[in-house]
Amino acid sequence: MMDRPRRLRLTPQLRALVRETTLDAGDFIAPIFVTAQSKTARPITSMPGVQQLPLDAVVAEAETMARAGIRAIILFGIPAAKDATGSDAAAPEGIVQRAVRAIKAAVPELVVMTDLCLCEYTDHGHCGIVNGTTGKRDPRLPEGYVLNDETNEILARVAVVQAQAGADVVAPSGMMDGAVAAIRDALDAAGYAHLPIMSYSAKYASGFYGPFREAAQGTPQFGDRSSHQMDPGNAREALREHALDVSEGADILMVKPALAYLDVIHATREAFPELPLAAYNVSGEYAMVKAAAQQGWIDERRVVLELLTGMRRAGADLILTYHAKDAAAWLRG
């Protein structure tokens, strides 16, 4: 006798009819790297198919994303010059601010998010003001430690400049304590109380970020980021981090990376059902799939759609993924 569940698997039409978790191009947020260092696109060797794009090419890429049914992008900037405080991040004519204005003029319906961190802009590659540099020194803390409140002051200024450029959402990613509150206060005071914050509220000190550091030119020149990003062994702490950011005014929560933290995504969805939840399918996850596909070991299309569906099934409403454009095309058939 045929088991009851198998009756509903008989044809593709029946399987689609009773599918519990669906995937759509509108679920994706596409990360884009914009550079002020080149007038031509630069391939990222560890991320096949992804490039650092000059300003005019970024606009064309944004238009392509919108035509594919992708509703949102997030911008990461590579400035022409870096310094110890990441000053280009807060410059009105900084590369991300210029890109936001150009994209919103060309594709106004696209949601343009801006990554809000200093690692791409500092010459040391860390996410903020480093203890012992630029006259900032706290004798209670080790040399090389990222100073929390001093960094938040800069992030608040950057958020306002990004808002003035036309960003639809700002996304603090440095895991500084109190960053969301500092940014919310600054935005409100500047007349941007309507602007949402997507917080990288549970961002782990992961080994999956290597290719991104090539892409964003943000590799730390010394030390690591374990003093401010989360320990991979901690799940309960993630819920505490989320709760703190919610209390400070975060509108969208995030878990980063995705694949090794599906349990954290699920726990976050259970604990915060009222807020949108994003999962970041990060560069190392992308690169592993690409490498295996290039060797012929996996079917890239099938595996990518399966992985992205798994993130949605775990509870993510939104997925930041470098596969966004390809996945959108595959979903169209």
Q: Which phi and psi (to 5°) does residue 177 adopt?
A: -65, 130
AA letter at 137: R
Answer yes or no: 82 catalytic.
no
Torsion of CA 248, 249, 254, 256, to 10 degrees: -40
pTM: predicted TM-score of the whole model, two decimal places:
0.92
Rounded alpha-carbon distances, angstroms, from residue 163 to 104, 107, 118: 12, 17, 16
- Cα–Cα dist 61/160, whole Å: 25
Answer yes or no: 203 catalytic.
yes
Which mean pLDDT values do the consecutive 10-residue runs of the chain (333 residues) have?
Answer: 77 92 97 93 94 95 97 94 82 96 97 92 74 73 79 94 98 92 98 98 93 68 67 97 98 98 98 98 97 98 98 98 98 90
Taken in order of first residue, the domains within the chain and their CATH numbers are 21-332 (3.20.20.70)
Among 39, 82, 136, 203, the active-site one is 203
Encode pLDDT of 7-33 as tens digits.
Answer: 889 999 999 999 999 999 999 999 999
Residue 204, helix vs strand vs coil: strand
Instruction: Round to the nearest angstrom and report the end-to-end CA distance of the chain.
Output: 35
Among 82, 256, 290, 325, the active-site one is 256
For residue 176 the two structure tokens come to: 């500084």
Encode pLDDT of 214-245 as tens digits.
Answer: 766 656 555 566 677 899 999 999 999 999 99
